[in-house]
């Protein structure tokens, strides 16, 4: 066995030159330390952009904790850091060729950027209540608003109501609104989801990002079931998120999901996303208490989140 040969500047020499050793350690720590590169208080939340090495994150800061909303690799823009973002694209297995999409909740714009790259002809209405988040997404996370990807600074529920009055229809609706703790309660209710259902085309798909550990898990599951019927429930090992995939007109079988995954494989390859691995994880049977009360405009107990 070949013995490992220590470099000439060994640990013994660190003891002889303590100031030099300390300087080298501080330099190494500084190179890896997290830096705050932007911070502001908007009308709705505290917004922080942090950077550590190549990882840049958007954080919505709240009193009890801080949660990363978006993270990117500044050296590799195609790298999808969060597993839930990858999971969100599983909704395309139910409708692989959307022409018009609605996305409520912007974050850093990662999901919409990928959709725009994969579907150049896709029209996206991107809804974000906070203009400050839009500004940060453009300046720090590479989001670009285009003729086909339009940002609307509005409350998601207000936009949905107005879209219904205009007769808008969408093949894909992504619900990813986030306050810093959880989904705004007025966008979890049966009444809101019924409006979303009315916006769907006959082949339309709803994709919702939620948390597996939320105390509202049973309630929100029952609510989605009452509006959309059975849905696909996606949870992956190591992720605290679960993604709901609901449809307007019945769920595709696994054979169809697998076929669509194969068809989309080359489009998602640059992002290292393997849609095929989601197919066996898209569960159809309830893993929640089906006797729980649905969330409504009169019953949306956000206080249950304290037990999350």
In percent, the amount of the chain with pLDDT more than 70 equals 85
Among residues 125, 155, 171, 176, the one annotated as catalytic is: 176
Nearest by Cα to 118 from 91, 84, 140: 91
Q: What is the pLDDT of residues 9-65, one digit of tens each?
A: 444 554 555 555 554 444 444 445 889 999 999 998 899 999 999 999 999 865 555
Phi and psi torsions of 41, nearest 5°:
-110, 110
Would the pLDDT of 96 be above 60?
A: yes
Q: What is the pLDDT of residues 142-194, one digit of tens each?
A: 998 999 999 999 999 999 999 999 999 999 999 999 876 789 999 999 999 99
What would the CATH number be for the domain defined by 83-307? Answer: 3.40.50.150
- 287 vs 56: CA distance, rounded Å: 35
68 pLDDT band, cuts 50/70/90, is low
274 is catalytic: no
Tokens of 151: 């940002």
Can you give the pTM of this predicted structure? 0.86
Q: What are the residue boundaries of the structural domains of the chain, listed by start?
A: 36-73, 83-307
Residues composing the chain: 308
CB 232 within 8 A of CB 283: yes
Mean pLDDT (the chain) is 88
CA 270 to chain centre: 19
**Structure confidence at residue 182 (pLDDT):** 84
**Structure confidence at residue 305 (pLDDT):** 65
Tokens of 3: 């013995």
**Structure confidence at residue 172 (pLDDT):** 98
């Amino acid at each position: 066995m070949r013995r490992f040969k220590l470099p000439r500047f060994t640990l013994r020499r660190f003891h002889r030159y303590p100031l030099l050793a300390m300087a080298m350690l501080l330099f190494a720590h500084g190179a890896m330390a997290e830096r705050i590169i932007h911070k502001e208080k908007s009308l709705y939340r505290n917004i922080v952009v942090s950077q550590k090495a190549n990882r840049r994150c958007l954080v919505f800061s709240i009193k009890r904790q801080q949660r990363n909303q978006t993270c990117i690799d500044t050296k590799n823009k195609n790298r999808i850091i969060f597993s839930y973002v990858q999971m969100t694209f599983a909704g395309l297995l139910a409708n692989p060729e959307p022409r018009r999409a609605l996305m409520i909740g912007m974050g850093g714009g990662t999901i919409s950027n990928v959709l725009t790259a994969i579907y150049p002809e896709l029209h996206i209405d991107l809804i974000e209540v906070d203009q400050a988040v839009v500004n940060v997404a453009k300046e720090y996370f590479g989001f670009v608003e285009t003729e086909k990807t339009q940002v609307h600074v509005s409350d998601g529920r207000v936009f949905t109501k107005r879209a219904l009055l205009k007769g808008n229809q969408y093949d894909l609706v992504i619900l990813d609104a986030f306050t810093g703790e959880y989904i705004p309660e007025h966008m979890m209710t049966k009444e809101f989801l019924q409006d979303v259902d009315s916006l769907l085309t006959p082949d339309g798909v709803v994709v919702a990002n939620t948390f597996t550990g939320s105390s509202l898990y049973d309630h929100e599951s029952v609510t989605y079931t009452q509006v959309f019927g059975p849905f696909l429930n996606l949870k992956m090992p190591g992720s605290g998120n679960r993604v709901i995939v609901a449809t307007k007109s019945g769920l595709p079988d696994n054979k169809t999901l697998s076929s669509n995954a194969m068809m989309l494989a080359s489009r998602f390859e640059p992002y290292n996303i393997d849609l095929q691995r989601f197919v066996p994880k898209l569960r159809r049977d309830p893993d929640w208490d089906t006797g729980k009360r649905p969330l409504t405009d009169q019953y949306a107990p956000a206080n249950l989140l304290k037990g999350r």
